[in-house]
Chain A
């Protein structure tokens, strides 16, 4: 079954440390997305990609980088993690208005 898999499911990081969140999709979708979800804010788009080698800034890209080394994999990188980046992060893949979300990564920055 086609799916979007995120790792890790939970992560505790220290302020100033580097964090990498990974996402793998088996949907063969061209487009992949990283969102964060905070109470009262819904889902906000951080970065997205139209295909291998491409990354685009979303609505709240500051403090985040993204990498799309292949069709299947899309990573979100926090070079210098801050407590304000504590959140639940969702990866998604999509084509032709067919979108699938991963189960999320809960990140706590202390």
Chain B
């Protein structure tokens, strides 16, 4: 069974700071890696995804993937109070089945 582990469980950062969220996975054959953001009481929504080693940047958000170390991460530059949410990492080992981590609660303080 695919395992996905996230860290930290929760995080408080000041407005304008860089936020870094981490995720490890167990299946080196995994093909799809994604971060989802979920505001309180709402549905999870895909934030960014990546398929191959390296990094991908979209605005203030950057995702890194290192398959050899079974690790991927999300970095948020110039964090804003509106970024406060539950962040979930997920990956698909190739069977169209997403496995999620337990999530990181991010609070950006004004």
What is the interface of chain A, defined by CB distance below 8 A to chain B? 31, 33, 35, 40-45, 48, 50, 58-59, 90, 92, 94-95, 97, 99, 101-104
Contacts and interface: CB of A to CB of B under 8 A. Distances in A.
Given A97-B34, A104-B43, 14 more contacts: A31-B96, A40-B102, A41-B102, A42-B103, A43-B88, A43-B90, A44-B100, A45-B98, A50-B96, A59-B99, A90-B44, A92-B98, A99-B46, A101-B44
A45 B99 contact: yes
B55 to A, nearest CB: 18
Contacts of A90: 43-44
Interface residues of B, number: 22
Interface of B: 1, 6, 32, 34, 42-46, 49, 51, 88, 90, 92, 96-103
Given A43-B44, A101-B43, A101-B45, A94 B88 contact: no
Given A42-B102, A97-B32, A103-B43, A58 B92 contact: no
A45 B97 contact: yes
Contacts of B46: 99
Label chain A's interface by main secondary structure: strand
B100 A42 contact: yes
